[in-house]
């Protein structure tokens, strides 16, 4: 049977395609979190992004925060944006608004200090956001193609089955996406140690191969400086206790199983954190990011990923505020225990001998259905834990 590669999505004015149609209520600084949250609660179709940043940061740390929050506002799954600021933060509401304007979408601001107090800011914000909601509900879906998609691939709560079943099956899905003109982002550079010689050979040329190698080795140098400090000897493991309990012996073993989820395609480029590929650049991308689940997924979303395929042998309930997160496990027992959190069971690869190709096709079909509007289990539970801006 021929694979379906079309879905109904939201074509934005900048040419990007959204698979969801939310109003983003985004604070420019942590001081505005509560006001933004209360505005979002009163508006149908609004999402709120809670974070602890936006002020008292300097240098690269502040730049990453600014870039990431603007990238959230520019994301095609968000149709319009209300920036909620305090008024004295380093990442100013005006800078935020100007950054989002580049996407061509409707963006406005509410500044608490300008309004006078919390209640007045909330009242004004609700009025603006409800007007936005009326606008965006009339946006019609149009036929889109898998070539319009960027899928982020991530694993968290890894066990021994992840590298044997779930990650390779996701890799088959990744190959199908890329072969049909779409793109894949993978990351978790802290958990790629020992695979640089494999990944660099997949690069499109020597220059990109060197970027891949340098990205991984730079992260290894950083971890070495931190991990060899005697004060932190008891905290020196590069993978979690849950990974050990699940049968993974080392970060290199985890890495060798983890890279399968990126598929077999050529690596087109290495992306900075929360940075999109350049226009018309397609394929497989490595994003420079640490391994924390939230930081990685947030970076991928900042890179334009509209959907995340997330493998977990141990199981996890986490989701992202405006991105569908498809959960896949290679552990049959985990699926039975956490069926309300996990979308696809790849444990039958091990238990019943289902082929990787068949399971990869199942995951690809799920990606298309989700792009078409089908809700993931994380979405049904309104999971938002994976929004987490990285820090230097």
pLDDT in tens, 131-140: 999 999 999 9
Q: Print burial letters for 75-108: b (CB count within 10 Å at least 16), e (below 16).
A: bbbbbbbbbbbbbebbbbbebbbebbeebebbbb
Question: What pLDDT shows up at residue 237?
Answer: 54
Question: What pLDDT shows up at residue 243?
Answer: 58
- List beta partners, residue 326: 309
92 with 55: CB under 8 angstroms? Answer: no
Question: What pLDDT shows up at residue 235?
Answer: 47
CB atoms within 10 A of CB 333: 14
CB atoms within 10 A of CB 233: 9
In the structure encoding, which two tokens stand for residue 116, read together?
Answer: 């006078």
Question: What pLDDT shows up at residue 3?
Answer: 84
Integer Cα distance of 318 and 309 in angstroms: 12
Dump strand ranges (E) for 209-347.
267-271, 284-287, 307-311, 325-329, 344-345
**Residues 6 or more apart whose Cβ sits within 8 Å of residue 219:** 189, 190, 192, 193, 288, 290
CA terminus-to-terminus distance, the chain = 48
Question: What pLDDT shows up at residue 226?
Answer: 67
Q: Please state the separation of Cα 75 from the chain's center in Å.
A: 11
| Per-residue pLDDT tens over the stretch 137-181 | 999 999 999 999 999 999 988 888 999 999 999 999 999 999 999
Question: What pLDDT shows up at residue 244?
Answer: 52
For residue 309, give the nearest of 158, 165, 156, 199 by alpha carbon.
156
For residue 17, give the nearest of 137, 207, 151 by alpha carbon.
151
For residue 363, give the nearest of 153, 221, 158 by alpha carbon.
153
Question: What pLDDT shows up at residue 252?
Answer: 57
For residue 296, give the nearest of 220, 390, 221 by alpha carbon.
390
Residues of the chain below pLDDT 50: 235-236
């Amino acid at each position: 049977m021929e694979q379906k590669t079309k879905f109904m999505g939201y074509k934005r004015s900048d040419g990007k395609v959204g698979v969801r149609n939310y109003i983003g209520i985004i604070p420019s600084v942590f001081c505005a979190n509560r006001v933004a949250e209360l505005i979002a609660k009163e508006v149908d179709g609004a999402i709120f992004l809670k974070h602890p940043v936006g002020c008292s940061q300097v240098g690269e740390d502040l730049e990453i925060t600014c870039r990431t929050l603007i990238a959230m506002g520019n994301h095609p799954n968000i149709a319009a944006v209300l920036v909620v600021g305090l008024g004295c933060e380093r990442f100013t509401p005006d800078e935020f608004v100007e950054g989002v304007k580049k996407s061509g979408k409707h963006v406005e601001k509410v500044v608490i200090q300008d309004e006078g107090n919390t209640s007045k800011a909330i009242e004004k914000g609700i009025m603006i956001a409800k007007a936005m909601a009326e606008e965006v509900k009339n946006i019609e879906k149009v036929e889109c193609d898998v070539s319009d998609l960027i899928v982020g691939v991530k694993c968290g709560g890894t066990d021994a089955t992840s590298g044997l079943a779930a990650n390779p099956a996701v890799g088959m899905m990744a190959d199908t996406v890329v072969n049909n003109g779409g793109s894949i982002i993978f990351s978790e550079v802290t958990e790629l140690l020992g695979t640089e010689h494999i990944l660099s050979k997949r690069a499109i040329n020597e220059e990109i191969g060197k970027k891949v190698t340098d990205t991984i080795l730079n992260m290894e140098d950083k971890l070495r400086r931190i991990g060899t400090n005697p004060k932190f000897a008891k905290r020196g493991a590069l993978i979690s206790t849950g990974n050990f309990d699940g049968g993974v012996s080392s970060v290199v073993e985890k890495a060798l199983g983890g890279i399968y989820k990126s598929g077999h395609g050529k690596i087109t480029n290495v992306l900075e954190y929360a940075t999109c590929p350049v226009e018309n650049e397609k394929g497989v991308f490595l994003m420079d990011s640490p391994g924390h689940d939230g930081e990685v997924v947030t970076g991928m979303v900042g890179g334009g990923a509209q959907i995340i395929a997330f493998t977990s042998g141990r199981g996890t309930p986490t989701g992202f505020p405006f991105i569908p997160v498809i959960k896949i496990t290679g552990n049959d027992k985990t699926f039975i225990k956490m069926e309300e959190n996990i979308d696809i069971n790849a444990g039958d690869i091990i238990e019943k001998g289902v082929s990787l190709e068949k399971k990869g096709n199942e995951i690809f079909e799920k990606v298309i259905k989700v792009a078409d509007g089908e809700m993931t289990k994380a979405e049904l539970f309104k999971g938002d834990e994976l929004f987490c801006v990285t820090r230097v």
